[in-house]
Structure 1
């Protein structure tokens, strides 16, 4: 019998039903671990899949530390390419597919094969499993990187994607695969693909800009700033991204792509100024040229997100960075730099 599904819009419950059992791939990652914590808090059982074993990966261990002891959580430490995915998809009311290799700059060169396998091939295998097992909804993590340079206005979902990096190409390919499966006649699995815009917050990946800015404040070691600081990003606090992701599990949709952003853009210079205000330290930087695949501006048009997900971001940049700074100060070894 199909699992009951609670209607969740912007993190608010609008009905008596609930997501009872879900699958989260990439559970040891930044967004995946936050999403899992929120789902468990709402009463769902979560089967999390990740190829990074906490016993050998310090980041995975840190992200999973508060999850592994919870009775509603089950961890599967395997690569999606090696699993019998039908077995794990069976009985799920939703699958949240967040697994993949991230990062624009590392996607050039010899690592592309890993990007292709992890971002595209695993998505196809998971879509087959969801269709075979009758999973009603797959929520796919995509990226603003599919837009490329964009237009002189916030990017809309109907804009022509022109990714400028191999990473963006693989995320767009995963999107198109997922939509093709959802639109196949008689398929039981609908899809909502979420184009995340620069998600940040506690547990953010160490290669991301806000992490590196706050690390520079903490350690007094200069951070490398690519470009002149005028490039702008739409920064999305992780709690807002999670609210949108949960809402996507029950949004009225067959095959949709939806932007998830922070509501406005900020220059990197503004981020540096905010960090100085929060930490009390000027941020030491080393200037470097812009890298291949970097775009000048990212900005999300959130009209569709508000209509379909009832999503409105609620965390300002200064609030989100303050939370991330407090988290950073509480990490092992953080205070030695003071």
Structure 2
């Protein structure tokens, strides 16, 4: 049976599709191809998937009532990797309704689709490290309280976790939520710091450095993220009652923003023009994943250091993105 991947033209979604196709799975991808950032990047990701005979794609909005069952009737979908969402913390200050529609209404429509499939096996969905909000205790563990979000984006992701737990309780739908910690790598999102910094440094423009660089992020390379997602997908929560669980996926090694910029400068061979700015109210000072649960249940450990991962991104950016005359 094919695996459905929502957000298939997105950063993580396209990498998940490629991994599943490479191991012989049939994959159906859906994405609304919105204009949050340059669609050329999304089309480029899809271009890597289209040569696979077992890949098919539907452009649709998952938040539109009935869109999923109309497009996928008779496909026998029993496993879903749900990665479609309105991303970005700061953009949620400008366009809050986009987050409610995509992240909450869209998640509900996916849950209803699962509910209508009598032999459904497993829904793996994207949550976020943002749910930890202003928590001061580190590292962040899945058992920590997460009822103090500092952005609407974080609030929508916690809402997704609550809805999923409810549907698992009421209807027995096996589900696993994954709290991603600052994912980066080739084909990433151009609104993320590593992309913005790389572009600006190469163009000789200043970069915005919040809180004098005294911010810490648990950067997690895309290949490590994909390996964890697929491992989790292959092992639904059958023993839990209700069949619902949540895991962190991070590198479990926070890196200081100032040090991150130092690494990027070395890789690019160019000094950054650093423009110091105060920390924004929607930001948190530190993210740090406790990976005990994922390692215990799946034997998973991330393997990619920040310098290696950033090096791969810089190589891709120069050899493929810049060479293709793409602009953001």
**Quick check: TM above 0.5?**
yes
5+ long unaligned stretches in structure 1: 1-19
Contact 2:174 2:236 in 1 (8 A): no
Does residue 280 (structure 1) correspond to residue 269 (structure 2)? The answer is yes
Q: Quick one: structure 1 residues 73 and 53, their matched pair in 2 at CA, closer, same or farther if it must change by over 3 Å?
A: farther
Q: Which moved more, 1:313-322 or 1:127-136?
A: 127-136
1:174 aligns with 2:160: yes
Q: How does 1:145-160 map to 2 (within 5 A)?
A: 145-160=130-145
Q: In the alignment, is the contact (CA less than 8 A) between 2:2 and 2:77 conserved in 1?
A: yes
Per-residue deviation at 1:94? Answer: 1.1
Taking structure 1 as the reference length, what is the TM-score of the superposition?
0.88
> What residue is the counterpart of 2:30 in the other structure?
49
Which aligned pairs between 1:62-77 and structure 2 lie closer than 5 A?
62-77=44-59
Q: Which residue of 1 aligns with 2:69?
A: 86
TM-score, structure 2 normalization: 0.91
In the TM superposition, what is the alpha-carbon distance from 1:99 to its structure 2 partner? Answer: 0.3
Indicate whether 1:213 and 2:197 are aligned.
yes
Task: Please point out which of 29, 32, 40 is paired with 2:21.
Answer: 40
Q: What stretches of structure 2 of length at least 5 have no aligned partner?
A: 238-242
For 1:150 and 1:30, how far apart are their aligned partners in 2? 27
Deviation of 1:335 after TM superposition, in Å, equals: 9.3
**Residue matched to 1:13:** none
RMSD over aligned Cα atoms: 1.8
Q: Bigger shift: 258-267 or 214-223?
A: 214-223
After superposition, the C-alpha distances for 1:196-232 in whole angstroms (9 at most, x for unaligned) are 0000000111111111222233222222122210110
* Secondary structure of the structure 1 residue equivalent to 2:13: helix
Matches within 5 A, 1:173-322: 173-184=159-170, 186-187=171-172, 189-253=173-237, 254-322=243-311
User: After TM superposition, what 4+ stretches of structure 1 lie above 4 angstroms from structure 2?
Assistant: none
Asked if structure 1 preserves the Cα contact closer than 8 Å seen for 2:201 and 2:270, the reply is yes
The residue number in structure 2 matching 1:107 is 92
Deviation at 1:332, TM superposition (A): 4.5
Cα distance in 1, alignment partners of residues 158 and 43 from structure 2? 30
Q: Distance in 2 between matches of 1:206 and 1:266?
A: 20
Aligned twin of 1:121: 105
